[in-house]
Structure 1
C-alpha cells in the first residue's frame, strides 16, 4: 500500500511516501526549488518520492493532505459572527478541492487517472501522528504546539497502539507560536522561520522584562491566553503569501511598542535592551510550554512524551524536559514544523484511519536523495575540477587531519536529511577546539549573526562524558549543558550560557560519519566535531552540483563528495582520464 503525504500551500511545502507503513522517502520542496521554506504545491518533492519508490502517481493508494479546511468549521463560524474578526477567517474552509485535483495539475496528469482515495487530515492531528507513530512508544502523551493550523494552535492527545485520542485543544485567537513569532519580528528578524535567532540571542540577556511579557501571554487553566490588545491577527488579520518564499505581515499591534519601546530595525545594532527582550521571551515561552506539558502529564499519566509542531523546535526548552522529571523519555519529530505534516498525515491515514499496525520506528532522518559515485565523478570532470578518489581507509584519516589543522570541510554523502538539520550527510565540519572557528565560519561561509551558536556532534556512547545529560539525541533537537570541565576543550560549540545543541551519532545509523568523528578523536583526543548545515544563505544543498557550487563560491578548504576528495589549491591538476581521477 502506497500512501502519499503532502504539505501544500503553506510554508515548508513537502512530501512523504509510505510503502506498507514504512517511510521510504521524504523531502521539503525547498531543497529542489532552492527557495527557502518554499510554499505552494510540492511538485518536485512528490516527483522525488515517487522516483525513490519506483512508483507512478497511478500506483498511489491514498493521498493525505495535512490540512482540513472544514475542521472546526462551526467554531470558525461562531467566532466570525460574534467577534470583529478578519474577513479572511473562513477563506479556504468553504472552497477546498480534492487533493487529487492539485496533484494532477502539478504533475500534468488527468486527475481521473489517479485512483487514490483522498484524505484531508486536520493540521494538528497530522503533527500528533508525526510525533507518536514513529516514536517507538506503545503509549505516550502527545502534544502539538505551533502558530495556527485549521483554527487550532495547541492540541493534546493520548497515543496508544495505532490510535490517537484527542483530549484538549487551544483555538484561535490564542497561540504560543504566534507570541514567539511576533516578538521575533519586534526584534528585527522579519523572515519566515527566523524564530531560532531569538533562541540563540536569549543567552546574551537577562529575563528582566518577563513581567511585562506576561501581559502578552500568560498561563491560564493548564493552558494559556494571549493579551489580545497586543496583537492584530484577530481583528485586522495578517497579510500572508503562500507561494514561493512565504511571507507574512506584522503580527503585533502598536501596543507592544507602548509596552517595550521602539522595535529594532533589521540589521541595526543589537542593543542590550533587545537582548533582555529575547531572554524574557524565551523565559516566558518556557513558563507556558512547561504548563502545557504538565497538562499533558495530568491528562494521560503517561511516562513518555511525543512532541511536534513548530514550537517543538525550541531546543533550549526541549533540553529541559527530562531534567524537570515530567517524563522519562521524549521523542521529538525531527521535522517538527509544517513540513512534518506531510509525514504525519500519511501516518494518520495508514494507522488511525485505516487501522493498520505500526511498523516503522524512526531512528534517523536520511530519507532524501542520494547520488552515485559515477554521477559525482562525471560532474567533477565536466566542471574540470581536480579531485582524488580515495577508499575510506585513506579518506577518513585525511579528512580528520584536515579538520584538526583548522580546515573547513564540506561533507556530502548518502541520502539527504529530512527536516531542517544537517546530520552528517549534508554538513560543514570544523574543529570544535578552536575558539576562533565561529569567526572563521562567518567570515568565509555563513556570514550570519555572531550570537548564533554552532552544534557539536559526537559518538552516542560519549555524550555523558561531555554533557550533563546522557540521553541520545540523533536529531539535534535538544540543548544540553556542557560539563564545566569540558567547556574549554570545545569552545566553538559551547554557547555563551555553557550549552550545546547536541547531535549524538551511532555507528549503525551513519557508519562513515561515526568513523570520521572517532578518527578525529583518535588523532586529537576530542571525539567531537562542529557540525553545521552545508549551505550559504540558501537551503541545505541537495545535489553534488549544489555542494560543488557552494564550495567554489565560499572559502571552504576541503570538499568530500562520497569518495571524491577536493582540497582548495592543493590537489594537483591531473589528466582527467587517468586512474588517479577515476
Structure 2
C-alpha cells in the first residue's frame, strides 16, 4: 500500500511517500525551486517521490493532506464572525485545497480520472505528532507539538501507544509560543519567515534583563497550557495568515505598540545590533525555556512515559531541546529532522496508515535523514566536465583521507555525497566542512563563504562514541536537534564551532547511518586527535544545493578550497 503525503499551500511545501508504513522518500519543494520555504503545491517533490518509489500516480492508494477543515470548527466560526477578513483569507486557502486533485494530476501529467487514490485530510497538529511518533523507536511515548498556528491550534499533548495517537489537550489560537517568538524576532528586525533560529543564536550574547516583562507577555498557568497577553500582539485582530509572493512566504506584522512602549522602538533590519537587542533576545529565549521545560515536566506527570516525541516549528529550538533531558524526568526524546511544517507530509501519511486505517506499527524507524534525491556518478562527471574543473577520481578510503588532510591544513571543503538530507539541516551529505581547531574559521565561513551575520554559530559534527568526552551530555543527536555545553577542558580544542556561551549544536555521527561522513571525521581524528569537524549547510543564502550543477556553481561562486562530489576530488587552483 502506497500513501503519498503532501504539505501544500503553506510554507515549507513538501511531499513524502510510504509503502506499508515504511518511508521511501521525502523532500521539500524548495530544493527544486531554489526559493527558501517555498509555499504552494509541491509538484517537483511529488514527482521525485513517485520516481524514487518506482511507481506512477495511479498506483497510490491514498493521499494524505495535513489540514482538516472541521478541526476546531466552533473556534473557527467564532473568529470568522469576529474578523471577517481573516475568515475570507481562510476560505481562499480552502478553495485551493478543494482542487488539490487537479494540481496533483497536473504535476503528474495525467487527468483526474487517472488518480485512483482516496484523499484524506489530517489535522495539522495531529500530523505533527504523527511525524515524530511513527518515525521514532518508541511504542509508548508522550507526545508534544508546538508551533505558530495550524488548524487553529498551536499546541497539542497526549500520548502514542502502538499504532494509535491520543490527543489529551490543546492550546488554541490566538495563544501561541511560535507566534510569540516570531513577533519578538520581527521587533528585533528579523522579518523573514524562518528567522527564529537567528535570534536563538543571538540570545547567548545578552542577559535576560527583561525577563519580568516577558513573563507578563506570556503566562504559564502550570496546567499544560499558556496564554499570551494579547495587548502585545496584533494577530488576534488581523490574523496570522502567511501570504506568498513568487513562492516566498510572507508574515504579517505580529507585534503591537505595547511592545514598543515597554521595550523601546523596534530595530530596523539595517540598524546595527546593540546590547539592548542582545538582552531582549536573551529574555525571549529564557522565557521560552521556562515555559517548555514546565510543560514537559507536567506532561511527564500526566503520561508517566519515559519517552517524549516532539514536533512542530518550535521543536527546532535546539537550545531548549538540549535541556529537556537534563531538566525533566524524560529519559528519551525523539525529534525527526523535519520537525516543522515540511514534516507534515510524513506525519499525514503515517497517521493515515497506522491510526486511521488501523495497520499495525511497522518496523520503520527514521534513524537517518537521507531521503532526498541522489545523482549518478555519470551525471556528476558530466557536470564537472561541463564546468571545466580538473578532478581526480578516488575510492571512498582515499577520498576520505585526502579530504581530511585538506581540512587539517585549513581548507574549506564542499562535501556532496549520496541522497540529500530531509529537513533544514545539512547532516553530512550536502555539507561544507572545516577545521574546528581554528578560532578564525567561524568568521571566515560567515564572511567568505556564507555571507551572513557574524554572530551566527556553526555546528560540530562528532563521532558518536566521543560525545561524552567532549560534551556535558551524551544523549545522541543525529539530526542536529540538541545544543549541549562543550566540556570546559575541550573548548580550547574546538573554538570554531563553540558558541559564545560555550555551547554547540552538535550532530552525532555513526558508521551505520552515514559511513562516508563517519569515515571522513575518523580520518580527521587520526590526523589531528580531534573527533570533530565544523559542519554547515552547502549553500549561500539559498536552499541547500540539490543537483551536482548547483553544488559546482556554489563551489565556484564562493571561496571554498576543495570539493568532494561523489568519488571526485576537486582542488581550487
TM-score of the aligned structures, taking structure 2 as reference length: 0.97
2:342 and 2:473 map into 1 onto residues whose CA distance is 29
1:392 shift after superposition: 2.1
Alpha-carbon contact 2:470-2:490 (below 8 Å) kept: yes
1:93 shift after superposition: 7.9
Aligned to 1:210: 211
2:329 and 2:99 map into 1 onto residues whose CA distance is 42
The answer to whether structure 1 residue 187 and structure 2 residue 191 are counterparts is no
**How many pairs are equivalent?**
569
RMSD (Å), alpha carbons? 1.4
1:308 and 1:443 map into 2 onto residues whose CA distance is 33
The answer to whether structure 1 residue 473 and structure 2 residue 484 are counterparts is no
Aligned to 2:143: 142
Structure 1 segment 343-362 matched on structure 2, within 5 A:
343-359=346-362, 360-362=364-366
Alpha-carbon contact 1:124-1:144 (below 8 Å) kept: yes
1:56 and 1:434 map into 2 onto residues whose CA distance is 50
Aligned to 2:522: 518
Aligned to 1:405: 409
Name the SS for the 1:531 alignment partner: strand
Structure 1 segment 91-240 matched on structure 2, within 5 A:
91=91, 95=95, 96-97=97-98, 99-220=100-221, 221-238=223-240, 240=242
1:483 shift after superposition: 0.2
Name the SS for the 1:246 alignment partner: strand
Structure 1 segment 351-430 matched on structure 2, within 5 A:
351-359=354-362, 360-430=364-434
Alpha-carbon contact 1:136-1:361 (below 8 Å) kept: yes
1:105 shift after superposition: 3.5
1:80 shift after superposition: 3.7
Aligned to 1:313: 316
Residue in structure 1 matching 2:444, options 440, 444, 450: 440
Unaligned runs of 5+ in 1: 570-582
CA deviation profile, 1:488-538 (whole Å, cap 9, x unmatched): 000001101010001000101111110110100000010100000000010
2:203 and 2:81 map into 1 onto residues whose CA distance is 40
- Name the one with the larger helix percent: 2
Alpha-carbon contact 1:207-1:279 (below 8 Å) kept: yes
1:336 shift after superposition: 0.4
Aligned to 2:7: 7
Alpha-carbon contact 1:127-1:340 (below 8 Å) kept: yes
Alpha-carbon contact 2:432-2:535 (below 8 Å) kept: yes
Alpha-carbon contact 1:86-1:234 (below 8 Å) kept: no
2:299 and 2:273 map into 1 onto residues whose CA distance is 37
TM-score of the aligned structures, taking structure 1 as reference length: 0.96
Alpha-carbon contact 2:293-2:328 (below 8 Å) kept: no
Name the SS for the 1:159 alignment partner: strand
Do the aligned partners of residues 375 and 532 (structure 1) sit closer, same or farther apart at CA in structure 2, a change above 3 Å counting?
Answer: same
1:85 shift after superposition: 8.2
Alpha-carbon contact 1:432-1:493 (below 8 Å) kept: yes
Do the aligned partners of residues 260 and 379 (structure 1) sit closer, same or farther apart at CA in structure 2, a change above 3 Å counting?
Answer: same
Aligned to 2:57: 57
2:83 and 2:549 map into 1 onto residues whose CA distance is 53
Aligned to 1:504: 508
The answer to whether structure 1 residue 19 and structure 2 residue 19 are counterparts is yes
Unaligned runs of 5+ in 2: none
2:550 and 2:304 map into 1 onto residues whose CA distance is 48
1:176 and 1:183 map into 2 onto residues whose CA distance is 11
1:89 shift after superposition: 6.8
1:83 shift after superposition: 7.7
CA deviation profile, 1:68-117 (whole Å, cap 9, x unmatched): 12211122113444689844475258644164233123334211210001
CA deviation profile, 1:23-70 (whole Å, cap 9, x unmatched): 110000000110000000000000000011111111111000111122
Alpha-carbon contact 2:16-2:345 (below 8 Å) kept: yes
